[in-house]
Amino acid sequence: MQTRIELIDLNFLGYPLAIAGYLLDDGEESALVEVGPASTITNLLNHVQALGVPMERIRHLIVTHIHLDHAGALGSLLQRLPEATAYVHPIGAPHLIDPSRLLSSAGRLYGEMMERLWGEVLPVPAERLRVVHDGERLSVAGHTLLVVETPGHARHHHAYLDEASGTLFAGDVAGVRMPGTTYVRPPTPPPELDIEAWQASLSKLRSLPIRRLALTHFGIFEDVGRHLDELEARLLSWAEFTRPLVEQGVPDTELMSALSEYGNAEMRQLGVDPSSYDLGAGYELIALGYARYWRKKLGLR
């Protein structure tokens, strides 16, 4: 039985290289790992069909975590794919069944841009949802995926290791990186950034037989050890940069500006276009994540 893994560019907001999904297929059934936001469903399904896969062959919808750029399309897709099952972390499951709190939290961040960015987010029927746990193995579309608990970016985060190929579907725990570059940016949005948990997750990943990283933002990379080391170093260096500013009580807008200047200077020195990373992980949310992390850790208001 021949199996394949295909990258799908969801062309988010009309931009390439922003959000990826991955198709797993063995000719009899298919799985999608990362389904993206509801605003990109048409792009997703058109691409699947262009790869020669009929919609009725899609039986598995797997998300690394419930942020809207990764899982917002689940409810709508399940309406269109009556034979499919969705797979999610136990902490995330209740917020897919009733997304009201998820949408309220996102609404505070994105305001009037919610509809344009994410589309209509529909509830996921509980009976169509399978909760999966660390260490579990999923047999889908001719692949065996090891479920790997990887908090840090969010408490409800799993990565999935395809054991045959060594491909890790990493979600956001392995950071953001654009094709043709080596630069890795840590995506640290509020409210659940936990740097110590993220470091533990990276240590866990280093212990696994990973041969390539399949990132949602964006693409497949084979320099696994170097990539993870750079991500951890930058996660910590940006934490060191933001801590004194938060302790001094600078407004969030100033923190965003300072981190943007700091990060962009670093990127330009390396010959990387800063704007290419902003859709995958913009400085505004990165700065707010660090601000919340430090205020909570240091007991600041």
pLDDT in tens, 202-213: 999 999 999 999
- Asked if pLDDT for residue 103 goes beyond 70, the answer is yes
Q: Are 161 and 167 in contact (CB under 8 A)?
A: yes
The total of other beta-carbon atoms located within 10 Å of residue 234's CB is: 17
Q: Are 250 and 295 in contact (CB under 8 A)?
A: no
- With vertex at residue 165, the alpha carbon angle to CA 279 and CA 225, rounded to the nearest 5 degrees, is 60
What is the chain's length?
A: 301
* Sign of the alpha-carbon dihedral angle for 26, 16, 279, 218: positive
Band of residue 93 on the pLDDT scale cut at 50, 70, 90: very high
Give the domain-ending residue among 166, 196, 224. 224
**How many DSSP H helices and E strands does the chain contain?**
10, 12
C-alpha to C-alpha distance for 191 and 290, rounded to whole angstroms: 9
For residues 81 and 66, state if they share a domain: yes
Give the domain-ending residue among 224, 245, 263. 224
Give the domain-ending residue among 176, 193, 224. 224
The whole-number pLDDT of residue 274 equals: 87
For residues 139 and 235, state if they share a domain: no
pLDDT in tens, 152-161: 999 999 999 9
For residues 151 and 38, state if they share a domain: yes
For residues 71 and 90, state if they share a domain: yes
* Mean pLDDT, rounded, for 131-148: 97
Q: DSSP of 210-245, one letter per residue? A: --EEEETTTEEES-HHHHHHHHHHHHHHHHHHHHHH
The whole-number pLDDT of residue 105 equals: 87
For residues 148 and 204, state if they share a domain: yes
For residues 165 and 263, state if they share a domain: no
Tokens 């050890």 locate to 225
* Mean pLDDT, rounded, for 177-201: 96
Q: What percent of the chain has pLDDT over 70?
A: 100
For residues 40 and 77, state if they share a domain: yes
Kindly report the CATH number assigned to the domain that includes residue 187: 3.60.15.10
* Mean pLDDT, rounded, for 121-146: 97
Those residues with Cβ within 8 angstroms of residue 177's Cβ, 6 or more apart along the chain or in another chain:
183, 184, 185, 215, 217, 218, 219, 221, 227
Domains identified in the chain, total number: 2
Q: DSSP of 32-97, one letter per residue? A: EE----GGGHHHHHHHHHHTT--GGGEEEEE-SS--HHHHTTHHHHHHH-TT-EEEE-TTTHHHHH
pLDDT in tens, 211-268: 999 999 999 999 999 999 999 999 999 999 999 999 999 999 999 999 999 999 999 9
For residues 93 and 128, state if they share a domain: yes
Band of residue 1 on the pLDDT scale cut at 50, 70, 90: low
Q: Are 60 and 83 in contact (CB under 8 A)?
A: no
Q: Are 227 and 233 in contact (CB under 8 A)?
A: no
Mean pLDDT (the chain) is: 96
Instruction: Name the pTM for this structure.
Output: 0.95
For residues 250 and 152, state if they share a domain: no
* Mean pLDDT, rounded, for 7-21: 96
Residue type, 284: E
For residues 159 and 252, state if they share a domain: no
Going by DSSP bridges, is the β-strand pair 143-149/137-140 parallel, antiparallel, or unpaired?
A: antiparallel
Q: What percent of the chain has pLDDT over 90?
A: 92
Range of the domain at 285: 231-298
C-alpha to C-alpha distance for 301 and 264, rounded to whole angstroms: 29
For residues 179 and 119, state if they share a domain: yes
For residues 255 and 119, state if they share a domain: no
